[in-house]
Structure 1
Amino acid sequence: MNETMIGITKLEKALYLMIPPVLGAVLGWFLPVIADWMLMIPIVPFKGPLEFVASFNSYWVSIIAAIIGIIAGLFFSQYIFNEILKVLISDQNVRLLMKEKEEMIEKKEISTVYLENKDLVILGVNGNELYREQIEAKKPLVEKAFKHHGYQWAEEDPFKNKYQRWVADHPHFPSHINALLSARERALQENQQEEAKILRKDLSKLGVVIQDDDKRQYVRMV
């Protein structure tokens, strides 16, 4: 199957692989020096562990800490890779991989694809939102990849004039929709981004499409 993959560039991948382990090694190597310096501060937390580190031979502590720092850096690099969206586009479907999970959307289900700020948005044939997630790839690269496989690309949301500001107990929406939107607005106000993201997906399944503007919700019903 002829697929185009978009995600991070080779240079970005190399930097993600190199920088965290190098930083971990540097911090580990200078750990005894950092511990000695922090012990000079009159009021310092974790004084016991710092004194424990400083009491050992600094050379061996530096070596061991540097190795631990490298390992921790590699784990952090792997975590970053899992958090970055990877998109595999073919003439038949779009596969979206993130956080060790994969979603697949058939081409026949997709009407339009566009970028909103850094979010990749995929709309269904009924105007419903099938997928939304932040993507690291640059817009020209994303646009070229989708167009290459025959997907309809838009420069902006084709329904941008169909949204209306949501307020509590909005008369145009059913009570269960208002309840979910109310819960999502609370999550936005309290900076609970993951909860707001989950509620957006729940609402999308009910035919509700949301645009956020400074913690305000603008909504359209499919």
Structure 2
Amino acid sequence: MPDTGREPGGEATALGFDRRARAFLFVAGGALGLALGLGLPYLAGALANLEWVPFGGLLHDIGAYDAIWAWVARPLLGLALGLGFAAFVIHDSPVVRVEPTQLVITQRGSSRRVERKDVNGVYRDGSKTVVVSATGRELFRGEIEGGRDKVRAAFINHDYPWEST
């Protein structure tokens, strides 16, 4: 059976980062931050030797700092920054709930509703999904996670006027 983009047993389709994608972002962000924290002395030492890099002396000092607490603090700080970056990306990304009568758009901690009767067209502009009214006013423009086909199917399955090919 083909994936229509609809949630089983429901009338609405939620588009955005799903649980697996969020978990991946946290794991990847944490691992990258941890790796950068561990590799910071080596990276700073290598950059300090390049002529065109500003603040070479400061970078050399960072690379040469060898206290025990710094070897623990750097990876932990990198881990925290990586997890914080992943949380920022997830929080900043819109979640669009496509329903037969309305769109519910949640982003950066706030939600807004767009009534179906106000939507005159939905199309892709590069990587962004655009929802417009009959007067041409943009009701939404943003990158919706989940893939082009799933986003398209969600709008088509709920009878929104999809205009892209």
Q: What TM-score comes out, normalization by structure 2 length?
A: 0.76
**Displacement of 1:23:** 1.2
Instruction: Tell me the secondary structure at the aligned position of residue 95 of structure 1.
Output: strand
**Displacement of 1:14:** 2.9
Q: How many aligned positions are there?
A: 155
Residue by residue over 1:118-140, the C-alpha shift from the partner in whole angstroms, topping out at 9 and shown as x without a partner, is: 22111223444322223333222
Q: Is 1:94 aligned with 2:103?
A: yes
The residue correspondences of 1:20-31 to structure 2 (distance < 5 A) are 20-31=29-40
Residue 54 of structure 1 aligns to which amino acid in structure 2?
Answer: A
Residue 88 of structure 1 aligns to which amino acid in structure 2?
Answer: R
Query: Over alpha carbons, which structure has the higher Rg?
Result: 1
The residue correspondences of 1:194-205 to structure 2 (distance < 5 A) are none
The corresponding residue for 1:47 is 57
Residue 148 of structure 1 aligns to which amino acid in structure 2?
Answer: N
Instruction: Tell me the secondary structure at the aligned position of residue 120 of structure 2.
Output: strand
**Displacement of 1:90:** 1.4
Give the gaps of 5 or more residues in structure 1.
157-222
- The root-mean-square deviation of aligned C-alpha atoms, in Å, is 2.7
Instruction: Check conservation: 2:49, 2:56, Cα contact below 8 A.
Output: no
Residue by residue over 1:87-145, the C-alpha shift from the partner in whole angstroms, topping out at 9 and shown as x without a partner, is: 11112210112233333101121122222222211122344432222333322211211
- Between the aligned partners of 2:164 and 2:50, the Cα distance in structure 1 is 55
Instruction: Check conservation: 1:82, 1:98, Cα contact below 8 A.
Output: yes
- Between the aligned partners of 2:151 and 2:47, the Cα distance in structure 1 is 48
The corresponding residue for 1:78 is 87
- Between the aligned partners of 2:108 and 2:56, the Cα distance in structure 1 is 34
Greater relative contact order, per chain length (Cα 8 Å cut-off, separation 6+): 2
Residue 70 of structure 1 aligns to which amino acid in structure 2?
Answer: L
Note closer, same or farther for the CA distance 1:52–1:138 as it changes in structure 2 (3 Å cut).
Answer: closer
Give the gaps of 5 or more residues in structure 2.
1-9
Instruction: Tell me the secondary structure at the aligned position of residue 83 of structure 2.
Output: helix
Note closer, same or farther for the CA distance 1:54–1:95 as it changes in structure 2 (3 Å cut).
Answer: same
Q: Is 1:116 aligned with 2:125?
A: yes
Instruction: Check conservation: 1:86, 1:97, Cα contact below 8 A.
Output: yes
Note closer, same or farther for the CA distance 1:108–1:70 as it changes in structure 2 (3 Å cut).
Answer: same
Instruction: Check conservation: 1:38, 1:44, Cα contact below 8 A.
Output: no
Q: Between 29-38 and 86-95, report the one with greater CA deviation.
A: 29-38
Note closer, same or farther for the CA distance 1:118–1:37 as it changes in structure 2 (3 Å cut).
Answer: closer
Note closer, same or farther for the CA distance 1:56–1:89 as it changes in structure 2 (3 Å cut).
Answer: same
Identity percentage over the alignment?
Answer: 22
- Between the aligned partners of 1:38 and 1:126, the Cα distance in structure 2 is 54
Residue 102 of structure 2 aligns to which amino acid in structure 1?
Answer: N
Note closer, same or farther for the CA distance 1:40–1:117 as it changes in structure 2 (3 Å cut).
Answer: closer
